[in-house]
Amino acid sequence: MWVPRTEAESESEAERSSGTGTKTDAVAVASSTIVPMATPLDDHIQDYLAHLVVERNLSPRTLESYGRDLRQFSSFTAEGKLDLASIERSDLRDYLGSRRDAGLSPRSSARALSAIRGFFRFLVGTEVLAADPTANIRSPSLWQTVPHTLNSSEIEVLLAAPDTSTTLGLRNRAMFETLYATGLRVSELVGLTIDRVRLDPGYVRIVGKGRKERLVPLGLAAIDWIERYSDGGRALLDRDRRPELFLNHRGGAMTRQGFWKILGQHARQAGIKTKLSPHVIRHSFATHLVENGADLRAVQMMLGHSSLTTTEIYTHVARERLRKLYDEKHPRA
């Protein structure tokens, strides 16, 4: 007989399937990203991944993505019998074209090009190569379609979905409010520690990608719910004096997978039909700011984007929404 699982059971399953990354983990990932069948680039790729561990302190997950992209590129060069010194810009275009023909998204191709760019810059910097063939190659368009977002009404329904008369519901409401108020990545949200939250001035200090720090404002609603959770629910969960603000039902650190499950459960309760992820809330945060006149560079800083180009997608989202609203409401549209 099927028995529905409780939220606590869902969290437990998510935690068993996840792990936290350390520098030791990153070294292990860097050492295991190359497949046994060697290609001419393999030794250089291993050197580059080891360099990333030491110099850029990347997470194991990011290293794994870089290794996978470089491994695929290495296989492409081996099939074409290209040696390192003979790789040209046209070869890179052919590779990106083959990815497109295989049905991979522009975003995946752009990420692969980013990994390859870093690799060749490393080779030039270490004097393995004299010239960088990735110079002046434009990235594939990151967004052929605008990112999915929730409208303000859907956000309000989602925020109100947790039962705040319970400890876990109080925690969930505080997490949802914090996520929408700040646009944090899910890893930043679950890794948020108490010492990085300042409720009086109203901001959180985030250590994001590449260990870059940024300050993100907290709205009054988020501050209110964090205070309620801190004064009430958190003390009942914190058995081991954990540094993280948001704890799971056993008093441990919340995981990314655990939060995904919680968000999905409450989205279904709220009647939200579309597939929902923490990143959709991040997109919604940015889109609503731009729609209401926020400066794009301020949004860039809050999101932690290294390039303004990445943030500019939200101007397209806002324009598309305005067009849709016009078409729906104007009598002569």
For residue 248, list its beta bridge partners. Answer: none
C-alpha span between 27 and 224 (Å, rounded): 41
Is residue 44 part of the annotated active site? The answer reads no
> Which residue in the block uniquely carries the two structure tokens 């039962």?
163
Is residue 305 part of the annotated active site? The answer reads yes
CA distances from 263 to 28, 107, 169, 175, 250 (A): 32, 25, 11, 10, 18
Phi-psi sector, 254: left (phi>0), alpha (psi -120 to 50), beta: beta
**What 3-state DSSP class applies to 5?**
coil
DSSP string for 248-279: -TTSSBPPHHHHHHHHHHHHHHTT--S---HH
**What 3-state DSSP class applies to 1?**
coil
Among residues 256, 261, 288, 305, which one is catalytic? 305
Half-sphere exposure of 9 (CA within 13 A, CB side): 4
Among residues 44, 99, 282, 283, which one is catalytic? 282
Name the residue among 110, 119, 124 with its Cα closest to residue 45: 119
Among residues 209, 214, 316, 321, which one is catalytic? 209
Among residues 89, 198, 211, 279, which one is catalytic? 279
Is residue 297 part of the annotated active site? The answer reads no
Is residue 185 part of the annotated active site? The answer reads yes
Among residues 185, 256, 266, 288, which one is catalytic? 185
Is residue 95 part of the annotated active site? The answer reads no
C-alpha span between 19 and 257 (Å, rounded): 10
What amino acid positions are annotated as catalytic residues?
185, 209, 279, 282, 305, 314
